[in-house]
Amino acid sequence: MAQARPTTRQAAASAGRPGRAGRPGSTRATRLTITLAVLLIVLASVIAYGASLGRPAPAHTPGAAPGSSPAPATAPVSPTVAGLTSADLDSLAAARSRALQNRDEDAFVAALDPETPGLVEEQRRLFRNLRPIPFREASYRVEAVHPAPGNGPPDALYVDVSFLHRIDNADTATVTEGYRWTVTRPRPGAAPRITGITGTPYEGVGYRYARDYPAPWDRSELTVVIRPHVVLLAEQQLAARADTLADAAEQAALADLREYTGARGTAPGFVVVPVADRGAFYDLYGGRADQHGDESGLTYALRTATEPAPAGSPTPKGNARGPQFGGARIVVDVNSGYFTSSDPDRAGALLRHEMAHALITPLRTELAGQNQPVWIVEGFADWLALRSHRGHQAADLTEARAYVRSGRFSGTLPTDADLYQADPVGNAASYELAHLALLRIEQTRGAAAVYRLVADVYADPSPVAVDAAIKQATGMERTEFEADWAQYVRALFGWT
């Protein structure tokens, strides 16, 4: 059955100041469990930052390296079965790209096998979902070809294809989503047919996830709402709320963008994906989020598209002059406490925190085995989100106060393990202590020092570089700053 056309709504953002940034669940009695969502870094195509029902949650690093799935290595296109050539496969990708550019739905599905149940209908829905999104670029490119395994379709190829896209006024570079097309030639001389489409998996690296797939446009019919600094992609069950959600997101975007005065090259706007389905919340963009059950927001950083590898080159050629991460996607669960509370400020607090992550994503440099310290990553997101709401700061430090006064505070900057701990009070306190570290730098050296620290650490997360960035920002060695901050924290809570 043909799918209904997605709706597009475009309007100016509503005027007015963003709502109060009182952190959700600011009292001990109402705070819900805090968990770490995802910080996807080494060999990653996606980084995710998360938020729990109680507060924005820090990032997680599974295994020896932060747990985003590795960037897939491209392989030379060398079809060996089904009588298909590289030119055949490139033509398939080019034809679908032209169909998008020409807004020709029939051409977009022309190469699909009509005998595959649901395939044509799903791809017609995809086309209609993509059409209202303000893409500066949208095209397909063949990356690698694999013979179908023994249990796959006979005489078929698995063709890994990148959907190269850049959303206007949100992405700073072209990003990718990975598809795997199953392609065959039904009979000699016949045109190639696509008989199946799914996400490109990561193979041989211990991950089961598809490469940034599914995006919202792959899952279900969308309502697309456009604001000056926000593109909102809402599933149909949220269509009636889409305008209201987009207005709230625009207000949060304006708050962060007006406040930010740091390094240039940051995101000009944001792509926000509200969902009311918990399965969708965890499934989007490869499903790499830790499913603790209480995150409310996840920000995924998308890897910048690379140029194809030259012939004979063992690895793809990267974008030497551009950002390694060209965009971010913010996924929020509208059934979480941030959105169901009678306090309208709660949703704004979550959105501002996640947008702070997305804003500086293009500044990130990825180094194998080197992660930006989470106390800086999450401390900055809280610091920026709350800068215009300092009058409510005391209510946002409940756990840190209890943590210090209980004697648990060691006087050391929060480690990633501190932020990953299962104890909700210790976890939340570590968040607040990270925020206070950035706040201490601002109080002693000014906001410019905070922005410089974050930019330097995002540019080079190696331990030596992080220590140098701390000294540059604070005028002190790391140990000296740590001692000064610890004294400040104890004095703040009357615990000396």
Q: How far apart are CA 100 and CA 97, in angstroms?
A: 5
Q: How far is CA 278 from CA 111, 124, 214, 283, in A?
A: 34, 25, 15, 9
Task: Give me the pLDDT at residue 425, please.
Answer: 86
Task: Give me the pLDDT at residue 395, please.
Answer: 54
Task: Give me the pLDDT at residue 366, please.
Answer: 85
Residues of the chain with pLDDT below 50 are 1-46, 52-70, 72-77, 80, 204-207, 313-320
All domains of the chain, ordered by start, with CATH? 19-71+218-492 (1.10.390.10), 86-201 (3.10.450.50)
Q: Is 491 helix (H, G, I), strand (E, B) or coil?
A: helix
Other Cβ atoms within 10 Å of 482 Cβ, number = 17
Q: How far apart are CA 68 and CA 286, in angstroms?
A: 9
Task: Give me the pLDDT at residue 68, please.
Answer: 40
Task: Give me the pLDDT at residue 51, please.
Answer: 53
Q: How far is CA 2 from CA 123, 129, 193, in A?
A: 11, 13, 21
Task: Give me the pLDDT at residue 203, please.
Answer: 65
Task: Give me the pLDDT at residue 79, please.
Answer: 52
Which residues 6+ apart lie within 8 Å of 170 measured at CB?
231, 267, 268, 269, 270, 271, 327
